[in-house]
Amino acid sequence: MGQSSHQGVALSDGGQVHPAGRLPWRRLLIDRAQSRAGGAVAAERHIQPSSRRDRPDVVAHRGASDLVAEHTLRAYRSALEGGADGLECDVRLTKDGHLVCVHDRRIDRTSNGRGVVSTLPLEQLQQLNFETWKNPWADLDDEHDEADAPPGVVLTLKQLCELVHDWPRPVQLAIETKHPTRYAGLVERRLVEILARFGWTRRVGDGPAPVRVMSFAWMSLRRVRDAAPAVPTVYLMDRVAKRYRDGSLPAGAKIAGPSMAVVRAHPDYVDRLHARGHAVHVWVVNDPEDLQLCVDLGVEAVITDRPADSLVSLRDRM
């Protein structure tokens, strides 16, 4: 999953690209207000946020990554302590078959080491510091809980699942598989094995599933669906392919994950997704105006680097 962007985005059928200004969605919201004033028939064409819940779920993108080094235990604890409804992470497979929470193919940007994740064993990764790039003093912290991994140590998916499982309130976990990868289907197989250990590959009751798997690669989602049909899958999009512009998604995907840039440029696309029965989870939502747009469009979840700020903003708006 990429970073927040304010660039215009086209539907990939060659449709018009809107600039980063707010004109497209302002026009849509004006049209919505006029439609509601026109009667119930017009109103039925749009799903209003009040028909589902008061606000979208706030999911912490790589933890509270605006303030704390991404994908670290500290970042995820900070997000949960700030009230985040869910956590988002990226996973990659190490040379010796462990899933670790790392976004980039290489570790150069987020650690004091160099190399490709898939060519390095977990033990070697654990010798590096994944916090000092953001906080130069992280390796001097001698006040961490000895029961946890020391600050800055690479976080495994299993450790993150333990944090979510043991947290004193329900927490959602959104896991993105990174592709392409040299290990093909092994990533999904290991992922499902870990989720099964926590009992998350089967649905219990009617509440929301505690975990969902996201990817830009439909084949990855298909592997997860085949291995664990009860685990919801999210199809991520940084543009909308022509075959999906009507609001449909690849077979088996029930949740759409468009970028904020797509939603900003084509807000009516959210209506099409909802009309097809798909929930919409938008990434990365850091700007207050973008957050308000997501509320107005009735999206079900926003993925943000600033979960605490987003929650405060949402509470102030409600």
Whether 103 is catalytic: yes
Catalytic residue among 61, 266, 278, 281: 61
CA distances from 30 to 24, 33, 56, 235, 295 (A): 10, 5, 21, 29, 15
The span from the CA of 99 to the CA of 238, in Å, is 25
Closest CA to 1 of 246, 202, 260: 260
Catalytic residue among 71, 103, 266, 274: 103
- 3-state DSSP assignment of residue 4: coil
Q: Copy the structure tokens of residue 202.
A: 């089967």
The span from the CA of 266 to the CA of 10, in Å, is 8
Q: For the chain, how far is it from start to end, CA to CA, in angstroms?
A: 29
The span from the CA of 226 to the CA of 17, in Å, is 37
The span from the CA of 163 to the CA of 141, in Å, is 20
Contacts of 112 by beta carbon, 8 Å cutoff, 6+ apart: 128, 129, 132, 133
Q: Are strands 255-258 and 279-283 parallel, antiparallel or unpaired?
A: parallel
Whether 165 is catalytic: no
Which are the catalytic amino acids?
A: 61, 103
